Amino acid sequence: MFKRTAAHPARHITATEAAGMVRSGMWIDYGATVCQPDVFDRALAERRRDLKSVKIRACLATRPRAVLEHDPDGKHFFWVSLHFSGYERRKHDAGIASYLPVNLGEIPDYYRRFIEPVDILILKCGPMDAAGYFNFGPSNLWHRAVIERARCVIVEVSEGQPHCHGTDNAVHVSEVDYIIKGDDLPLAELPNPAATDVDRAVARHIMNEIEDGACLQIGIGGMPNAVCTQLAESAVGDLGVHTEMLTDGICDLYRLGKITGRLKTLNPGKIAYSFALGSRSLYETVHNNPDFLCQPVDFTNLPHMAMQNDRVVAINNTTQIDLQGQAASESDGHRHISGTGGQLQFVRAAYASRGGKSFICLASTYDRHGERKSRIALSLTKGNVVTTPRTDMMYVVTEYGMTNLKGKSIAERAKALIDLAHPDFREELEREASHHKLIPKGFF
What amino acid positions are annotated as catalytic residues?
A: 244
Alpha-carbon gap, residue 305 to 314, rounded angstroms: 14
Identify the bridge partners of residue 134 per DSSP, sorted by sequence position.
Answer: 128, 171
Please give the angle made by the CA atoms of 433, 435 and 436, to the nearest 5 degrees: 65
Alpha-carbon gap, residue 397 to 208, rounded angstroms: 12
Q: Residue 163: which region, alpha, beta or left (left: phi > 0; alpha: psi -120 to 50)?
A: beta
* Residue 65: how many other CB atoms lie within 10 Å: 26
Alpha-carbon gap, residue 244 to 59, rounded angstroms: 14
315: exposed, middle or buried (Cβ count in 10 Å: 0-12, 13-18, 19+) = buried
Alpha-carbon gap, residue 424 to 270, rounded angstroms: 46
- Return the SS3 of 304: helix
Alpha-carbon gap, residue 225 to 231, rounded angstroms: 10
Phi first, then psi: give them for residue 50, nearest 5 degrees: -90, -5
Closest CA to 374 of 315, 438, 437, 419: 419
Alpha-carbon gap, residue 246 to 270, rounded angstroms: 13
Please give the full DSSP string across 258-292, using - where no structure is assigned: -B--TT-SSSTTSEEESEE-S-HHHHHHHTT-TTE
Closest CA to 76 of 61, 94, 96: 96
Q: Residue type for 4, please?
A: R
